[in-house]
Structure 1
Amino acid sequence: MSLGTLDRSPPPFFNQGPSALSKLMFFGALSLFLMVADARFGVTQPIRSVLATALYPAQWLALQPVHAIRYGSDYLTGLRQAQSSSEEAGKKLALQSLRAGQVEQLTQENNRLRKLLGLRDQLTTSVMAAEVLYDAADPYTRKVVIDKGLAQGLELGSPVLDESGVLGQVTRVHPLLSEVTLLVDRDLAIPVLNVRTGARSVAYGDPSASGSGLELRFMGSNADVQEGDLLTTSGVDGVYPPGLPVAKISRIERRAESAFAKIYCVPQALVSGARHVIVVKPVAGQIPLRPDAPAPEAAAKKKASK
């Protein structure tokens, strides 16, 4: 049989329903109708709601890995930001603490300078401001070095004061620096006056191991002294101006076997923490010179004329 004579139509056994073209046209028209109906009347909205409700558990499970990754990323980002903020806050706190310490130090220094200016106004002699640079290297003495010397006209033996009272005396002068022996040094003595009684005495540097105080020597056991008495400069030595605070009596030991009492004093000046000081010109230059004694011949003539 030739190919042209073959029947191309399916046998009756396989011929079921409409043709494919008919199905395509039908379903195409149905899709177009549903799209128009859904756009105008929303006929498929209930179906969508049912399908969305049925598929929600599957969508929730599918989104959990995404949420976990996003949450972990946000957690790590927040942790880094928190650490960075904590470091910045620590730096700011340290800087503020440093500034607060500097403010407190500057406030104390300002108060001391004001007191120094007030003490300077009370003095009648010329004064010079100086700054303590460092302590002397000798461990057996109590000395400090200040930043004024011969170039600034500093004189040997000049008293040195801080805002609270007498600090010491200039004992060595260099061109640009000077050494100040503190009044608690065992080799320094200063004439003092008891403000309460008006009695004069001499205060010596404490010879004890601490070396941070003064001692009144050669005071009788029955001397009128009390704890808390203020000692000031007497001015009889021609070095220190009178009336400057020196020390306060802190302890008195009266012994029956000794004719003298041991009287310990606490200096008023900051012997261990002074920074800014004033140097006072010795008052010896203000004391008038002692008149010369008359010659023997002139004295004899004077007596003869009488």
Structure 2
Amino acid sequence: MLGVRLLVLSVVCVVLMVVDARFDTLKPVRSQLGLVLTPFYWLADLPVRTWQRATEQLSSSTSLAAENEKLKAEALLMQRRLQKLAMLTEQNVRLRELLNSAALVDDKVIVGELIGLDPNPFTHRILIDKGERDGVFVGQPVLDASGLMGQVVEVMPYASRVLLLTDVTHSIPVQVNRNGLRAIAVGTGSPDYLELRHVAETADIKEGDLLVSSGLGQRFPSGYPVAQVTEVVRGSGQPFSIVRATPTAMLNRSRYLLLVFSDSRTPEQRATDAAEAQVTADREAAEVQPAPAEPAAEPQAPAAEPESTEQQP
């Protein structure tokens, strides 16, 4: 009897997995289950937080003072870099104004925290503590302090799943920061590197080049670090060069993440949309204004009937 129950439960599990993989029927159920399981993720993470707080409280005053001095020095260095970045940002704004194009100076972000990992070894996904109630949406870019990490692929009320750049199903348009060369970086299933597809053997790319998001595809904002080229193999018998790059984001170590809210349109698209909106507004304003009244026409006398020219026989 116990074996029959096990067989029935196994068949039910297989059917549910097939339905979940092929259809969207169980998506609302999975969303509600995510809402129910979110407190369990918090409870599972509670011992780690408790241990970290206890370790911080037991730290000696000498180590804390040394760390404080070190952080002060790093803060001064970061303030100096921020001053340079502020100056460069202002110069960029002035140049864009000269070019008559709108500039998105800063992106709105919210801070999220890692609360879980996907147990499937063949996918690279993580769970964060921000969901639909926080304005998170599917396709939203996610990054850490070092670069882009991936994008949101599933949103629940209080949590979301993020697909990392290194997943085999993920790809992102990038460009070489040194010369603007465009390419597509795809995940390899390994957390250590990405691969660039369809790079010609004569392309100007070399080890050490920084790859940044190009903004093509209107999914990721442009200019964020993605990876650094670590290997370029030419003349390997393949039609294209083999290019591998290491992600700049700390995919296996970052705990606090940033979710980016930005306008992914290019300056040209924003200018075009603004022009179309202005034309529409002008047209609506013209329809609202009454047309000028035309002067009344003077009454005309009726035309005289022509005399009959028939002759009597």
TM-score scaled by length of structure 2: 0.53
Deviations 1:71-104 (A, max 9, x none): xxxxxxxxxxxxxxxxxxxxxxx94479959x97
- What are the within-5 Å matches in structure 2 for residues 21-60 of structure 1? none
Are residues 1:257 and 2:226 paired? no
Assess if the C-alpha contact under 8 Å between 1:167 and 1:182 holds in 2.
yes
Counterpart residue type for residue 165 of structure 1 = G
Give secondary structure in 2 for the equivalent of 1:283: coil
Counterpart residue type for residue 114 of structure 2 = V
Q: Which residue of the partner structure matches residue 257 of structure 2?
A: 277
- What are the within-5 Å matches in structure 2 for residues 85-96 of structure 1? 95-96=58-59
Distance 1:243 1:285, change over 3 A: closer
Gaps of 5+ in 2: 1-56, 90-104, 277-313
Give secondary structure in 1 for the equivalent of 2:252: coil
Aligned-residue CA RMSD (Å): 3.6
- What are the within-5 Å matches in structure 2 for residues 101-116 of structure 1? none
Q: Which residue of the partner structure matches residue 95 of structure 2?
A: none
Deviation at 1:285, TM superposition (A): 6.6
Give secondary structure in 2 for the equivalent of 1:218: strand
Among candidates 120, 123, 130, match of residue 138 of structure 1:
120
Among candidates 181, 193, 204, match of residue 199 of structure 1:
181
Deviations 1:143-189 (A, max 9, x none): 11110000111111000011111111111111100001111111111
Distance 1:262 1:154, change over 3 A: same
Deviations 1:231-253 (A, max 9, x none): 00101121211111111000111
Give secondary structure in 1 for the equivalent of 2:133: helix
- What are the within-5 Å matches in structure 2 for residues 179-190 of structure 1? 179-190=161-172
Counterpart residue type for residue 205 of structure 2 = V
Assess if the C-alpha contact under 8 Å between 2:115 and 2:127 holds in 1.
yes
Counterpart residue type for residue 108 of structure 2 = S
Counterpart residue type for residue 163 of structure 1 = A
Assess if the C-alpha contact under 8 Å between 2:212 and 2:223 holds in 1.
yes
> Number of paired residues?
192
Are residues 1:175 and 2:119 paired? no
Find the aligned partners of 2:62 and 2:154 in 1 and give their Cα distance: 38
Give secondary structure in 2 for the equivalent of 1:249: strand
Deviations 1:263-300 (A, max 9, x none): 00001001001111110125347854777xxxxxxxxx
Find the aligned partners of 2:193 and 2:237 in 1 and give their Cα distance: 25
Q: Which residue of the partner structure matches residue 125 of structure 1?
A: 107
Q: Which residue of the partner structure matches residue 71 of structure 1?
A: none
Moved more, 255-264 or 227-236: 255-264
Assess if the C-alpha contact under 8 Å between 2:108 and 2:262 holds in 1.
no
Gaps of 5+ in 1: 1-93, 292-306
Give secondary structure in 1 for the equivalent of 2:112: strand
Find the aligned partners of 1:259 and 1:99 in 2 and give their Cα distance: 60
Give secondary structure in 1 for the equivalent of 2:136: coil
Q: Which residue of the partner structure matches residue 193 of structure 2?
A: 213
Distance 1:97 1:134, change over 3 A: farther
Percent of counterpart pairs with the same letter?
A: 33
TM-score scaled by length of structure 1: 0.54
Counterpart residue type for residue 172 of structure 1 = E
Q: Which residue of the partner structure matches residue 223 of structure 1?
A: 203
Deviation at 1:133, TM superposition (A): 1.2
Assess if the C-alpha contact under 8 Å between 2:221 and 2:264 holds in 1.
no
Deviation at 1:137, TM superposition (A): 1.8
Find the aligned partners of 1:283 and 1:182 in 2 and give their Cα distance: 22
